[in-house]
Structure 1
Amino acid sequence: MRRRDFVQLAGLGAGAMMLPVSAFAKSVDPSRLLEPALDVIQKKRLADVALNASRSAGASYTDVRIGRYLNQFVITREDKVQNMVNTESFGTGIRVIANGTWGFASTNDVTEEGIAKAARQAVAIAKANSKFQTSPVELVPVKGYGEVSYKTPIKKNGFEVTIKDKADLLLNANARAMENGASYINNILFLVNEQKYFASSEGSYIDQDVHRTWPFFTVTAIDKESGQFKQRGSFSAPVGMGYEYLDGRAEDKIVGPAGVTLYNKSYDMVEDATMAAQQVKEILSAKSVEPGKYDLALEPSHLWLTIHESVGHPLELDRVLGYEANYAGTSFATLDKWETKKFNYGSKQVNFVADKTQVGSLGAVGWDDEGVKTKEWDLVKDGTLVNYQAIRDQAKIIGETESHGCCYADSWSSVQFQRMANVSLKAGKEQLTPEQLIGGIDKGVYIVKDGSFSIDQQRYNFQFGGQLFFEIKNGKIAGMLKDVAYQSNTQEFWNSCVQVCDSRDYRLNGSFFDGKGQPGQSSAVSHGSATTRFNGINVINTARSI
């Protein structure tokens, strides 16, 4: 499920049946979210049961994931709390190689008997599948880490904050939006805690405690005379942080071009809701854009989605190889392009890195779901394609000696597979502020926050909208625009990149629900950038295109 789909559904107050949680999740009392799970001694004992049972049944490799997945949703609309949902999902997934073939089974019977039975079932599935396997699975080596752990470095556990305090925050923001002219506001707070234990036949026993937080609202304003309406979403980012993200510290606020207040590392929901209500009314009366070629100044809260779709997805190796095709397509960035070591993905200013370690990002973990220690690596360097995102059974294909550490499953009941790392555009090396960047543009558009988009099945031809648009004339902001979208293709677009602001402007945004696979799974991923300039991009008027 994509983020915008979640927002639409949750905004309707659809409740627990419509929210993106595991089919095995059960509704629980909020106090249950703070109760301790199994300790590491119990988890290790159960994991060893699976490792021993699968080896006895004929497995040459086994990994075990014991997972407890906790979710909390608080959903409000205007002056009402529409719903509050707390869920817990607990079980074990066991993946094996037998006769050179993968097998997987899972169970919510987290007992020695239940786990042993699932382990034997995984081996039986692998042996049955081996009749159709044309070549054996080969894994690049990984170090056995022994008993290790990782925890998201949170300062405040959101599950420890009372429901009343959370609801009061959302309702206060709603009230401020309504006082400032909003017709409607839907407001959601989503908290996630993944308690994951991984063990493998290679000697790793890894305990991880991962937290994520996402506050999000949508403000709507209606012009009663014309019947038109416009919306503006929150300027929050989904984060790999605790409830401290909602502290709204003054030092984390950024006043960007056009006087727009942006946020970094912490978020002020009440202030943002007030600003959103004022801005959404401005959008209604804004000038409609004239189609044509413009230089674009794209702010990080917008550019993350373009990065996600035109860089993150096409550089997933399973898409490149055609293993992943039905769910959102394959990739134009095929192996022949990478093998030349000369494929021009973008201009010399374009440097993309994949990173599973960045503090505060959605994808930050200590080890992936194959027990591989996470790291940062280059994807595009000085505009040239240099690597992909690959896991243990893919890495040899591109001559890598180790996995990139980007394997993930969204539940104990799901088999892990290659998922997108945090893919980010590195900040520029020269000192450059957004104001200075805009100061060099004669005819352009400054775009803030992501909007609707469309991209083809090879992640090449695309169209992106946004939420706030400002006309740039002779180096200055000349007023708000509306009905803006830009069209390009991936290679042409990134080759039109001429300037990237420096690290002072670098910020993360991302998606809580990046969908992939069949059966479908969701993962959370962040993308960082600074404000970036692209020259000569085709801009259309979306109102005239309908």
Structure 2
Amino acid sequence: MKRRNFIHTAALGAGLLAAPIPIFGKNIFVEELLNPGMDVATKKALADVALNTARGLGATYADARIGRYLNQYVFTREKMVQNTVNTESFGIGIRVIANGTWGFASTNDVTPDGIKKATELAISVAKANSKIQTDDVVLAPVQGYGDVSWKTPIEKSSMSVPVSEKVDLLLEANARALENGADYISSALFSVNEQKYFASTEGSYIDQDVHRIWPTLNVTAIDKASGKFKNRQGLAAPMGMGYEYLIPDKSEEIMGAGGVVLYRNRYDIVADAIASAKQAKEMLTAKSVEAGKYDLVLEPNHLGLTIHESVGHPLELDRVLGYEANYAGTSFATLDKLEAGDFNYGNELVNLVADKTQPHSLGAVGYDDEGVKCKKWDLVRNGTLVNYQAIRDQVHMIGQNESHGCCYSQSWNDVQFQRMPNVSLEPGKEKYSINDMIKDVEKGIYLVGRGSYSIDQQRYNFQFGGTLTYEIKNGEITGMVNDAAYQSNTQEFWNSCAKICDKDDYRIFGSFFDGKGQPSQVSAVSHGCSTTRFNGVNVINTGRNI
């Protein structure tokens, strides 16, 4: 192996060790992140090569996605920079319907000749598949939008911020954590820019520029006498924003219960690092929770994950139909439950919506990856199941004729398929704060942030823990506890919903790398909610052998 290749591979490996994340593309120099890339007129001309070739070979439908995917990851630990990774992936994916069947091919040879060959291959794949497929693909109609564009509404591109500035911020957070009692701390910043161009034989030419950002940290405090240690993860949610997310704004500040300082649409990584160190030390001496029935007060950074697992995944139509059974399971929310029209998902307080247009969310785009204009729709209304998440070739299976606009591919090199949109719990309608909620609890547990979790293959029975756990007695938080997790099933849990804070407490949780499909792909998705109370939920002690 050449020394240059060894350094490239070793550097990439170090980054992966720092965080188990998928990294696509080739390593590039940091200044190449600011290269504007291919102009829109050239993309349109090249996309037309694919569309015209497909038509000429008998395709009844074709789409082409030219994608440039930029990633920057900065990793630090204590006083050191562990690694920086800058990658670029560029190519075109071509999807066709021929003989009533899908075919797909891709190439990084984005020239007329390269695109023509890839399109011919996609047609060949479709015709080969048609020999064993019994039913033709049925696509819901969608209008052609002509030449349109969409961009994440950012104030400052993270890619334009010097690496040195990002490193300084992360190292400052590390230093402040160490000053306040942390024994170890690691921090990182992930920045993503997807430059995507979509064209179809239905007349759409859609150019989109999508930005996402995710700062992370993990603090460890050790009791040197006993050798015991506790970890406290950062409370940042990944967001569909630019670097402005890391610039604190006091107007965005929300004071959580237990003195936990939180923000809406902003994140102060230095303040969180200080709090992480202090709270990790507090965990070392906190008592272990007593198992039993409690009223749970769940803040958005925690409840978002429960929404993701107990609502987002089971209401994906391909999972309901069994297409994901070999990899990620099926769903308890089967078709007969939707058809009945009265399936009780939760009580009347529970309104869960899917929304690909939600500002600052990870899933926000103007159009999905098959050219459908994105929208908001109901999944559960007043506790009743009313819909799933479905794309163009699925909605006819549930008697609908309009795609929900939630098709996505992680890159130009992968075929697009149904992915979870942002799935969120609507806030309460009456004025009600988190402090009001705490005062109304006699015996409860307040959970902040995500911890361990487990859920069965039908997304029904589950167990969740948090980053920080506080005990509530007689309307007051009495202190931190360890080893708490709650157990329930999806229907029981959402029927125990007792109160939801109003829109002033509404915040977004996010999953930057949500896996699905074979071959596996990742996507980014957010879940919004306000702090919510669930009454009479079973809390177990995870630190004791039972």
TM-score, normalised to structure 1, is: 0.97
Is the Cα–Cα contact under 8 Å of residues 338 and 387 in structure 1 kept in the other structure? yes
**Cα shift at 1:226:** 1.4
Q: Would you identify which runs of 4 or more consecutive aligned residues in structure 1 move more than 3 Å?
A: 9-19
Name the structure 1 match of 2:324. 324
**Cα shift at 1:66:** 0.2
Q: 1 CA distance for matches of 2:15 and 2:198?
A: 36
1:130-529 aligned within 5 A? 130-529=130-529
Is the Cα–Cα contact under 8 Å of residues 463 and 487 in structure 2 kept in the other structure? yes
Name the SS of the counterpart of 2:466 in structure 1.
strand
Deviations 1:84-138 (A, max 9, x none): 0000000000000000000000000000100011011100100000000110000
Deviations 1:507-531 (A, max 9, x none): 0011000000000000000000000
Name the structure 2 match of 1:20. 22
**Cα shift at 1:254:** 1.2
| Paired amino acid for 1:263 | Y
Name the structure 1 match of 2:54. 54
Is the Cα–Cα contact under 8 Å of residues 15 and 85 in structure 2 kept in the other structure? no
Is the Cα–Cα contact under 8 Å of residues 446 and 470 in structure 2 kept in the other structure? yes
1:21-170 aligned within 5 A? 21-22=23-24, 25-170=25-170
| Paired amino acid for 1:468 | L
| Paired amino acid for 2:112 | E
Deviations 1:187-210 (A, max 9, x none): 000000000000000000000000
Name the structure 1 match of 2:7. none
**Cα shift at 1:16:** 9.2
1:12–1:92 distance in 2 versus 1, CA, 3 Å: closer
| Paired amino acid for 1:358 | Q
**Cα shift at 1:14:** 4.0
Q: 1 CA distance for matches of 2:105 and 2:442?
A: 60
Deviations 1:6-43 (A, max 9, x none): xxx99975469964122xx1000000010011111000
| Paired amino acid for 1:522 | V
| Paired amino acid for 1:431 | K
Q: 1 CA distance for matches of 2:327 and 2:12?
A: 23
Name the structure 2 match of 1:5. none
Runs of at least 5 residues in structure 1 that lack an aligned partner in the other structure: 1-8
1:104–1:11 distance in 2 versus 1, CA, 3 Å: closer
| Paired amino acid for 1:512 | F
Is the Cα–Cα contact under 8 Å of residues 14 and 83 in structure 2 kept in the other structure? no
1:260–1:129 distance in 2 versus 1, CA, 3 Å: same
Q: 1 CA distance for matches of 2:491 and 2:167?
A: 45
Name the SS of the counterpart of 1:432 in structure 2.
coil
Q: 2 CA distance for matches of 1:353 and 1:88?
A: 34
Is the Cα–Cα contact under 8 Å of residues 447 and 468 in structure 2 kept in the other structure? yes
Runs of at least 5 residues in structure 2 that lack an aligned partner in the other structure: 1-10
Number of positions where the alignment pairs a residue of Structure 1 with one of Structure 2: 536
Is the Cα–Cα contact under 8 Å of residues 16 and 85 in structure 1 kept in the other structure? no
| Paired amino acid for 2:102 | W
Q: 1 CA distance for matches of 2:15 and 2:150?
A: 35
Name the SS of the counterpart of 1:345 in structure 2.
coil
Is the Cα–Cα contact under 8 Å of residues 50 and 64 in structure 2 kept in the other structure? yes
**Cα shift at 1:240:** 0.1
| Paired amino acid for 2:23 | V
Name the structure 2 match of 1:6. none
| Paired amino acid for 2:172 | N
Deviations 1:170-194 (A, max 9, x none): 0000000000010111100000000
**Cα shift at 1:228:** 1.1
**Cα shift at 1:393:** 0.4
Q: 2 CA distance for matches of 1:513 and 1:420?
A: 12
Q: 1 CA distance for matches of 2:469 and 2:12?
A: 26
Q: 2 CA distance for matches of 1:28 and 1:533?
A: 48
| Paired amino acid for 2:533 | R
Deviations 1:362-418 (A, max 9, x none): 000000001000000000000000000000000111121210000000000000000
Is the Cα–Cα contact under 8 Å of residues 18 and 75 in structure 2 kept in the other structure? no
1:17–1:378 distance in 2 versus 1, CA, 3 Å: closer
| Paired amino acid for 2:297 | A
**Cα shift at 1:326:** 2.0
Q: 1 CA distance for matches of 2:15 and 2:411?
A: 25
Q: 2 CA distance for matches of 1:19 and 1:483?
A: 27
Deviations 1:238-277 (A, max 9, x none): 0000000000111112111111111211111111101110
Q: 2 CA distance for matches of 1:110 and 1:455?
A: 43
**Cα shift at 1:327:** 2.2
Q: 2 CA distance for matches of 1:336 and 1:89?
A: 43
| Paired amino acid for 2:84 | M
Percent of aligned pairs with the same residue?
Answer: 67
Q: 1 CA distance for matches of 2:353 and 2:83?
A: 39
Name the SS of the counterpart of 2:214 in structure 1.
strand
Q: 2 CA distance for matches of 1:56 and 1:36?
A: 33
Deviations 1:305-331 (A, max 9, x none): 000000000000000011121222110
Name the SS of the counterpart of 1:544 in structure 2.
coil
Q: 2 CA distance for matches of 1:101 and 1:392?
A: 14
Name the SS of the counterpart of 1:451 in structure 2.
coil
Matched, 1:534 2:524: no
Name the SS of the counterpart of 2:141 in structure 1.
coil
| Paired amino acid for 1:324 | E
| Paired amino acid for 1:418 | Q
Q: 1 CA distance for matches of 2:102 and 2:401?
A: 21
Q: 1 CA distance for matches of 2:388 and 2:210?
A: 25
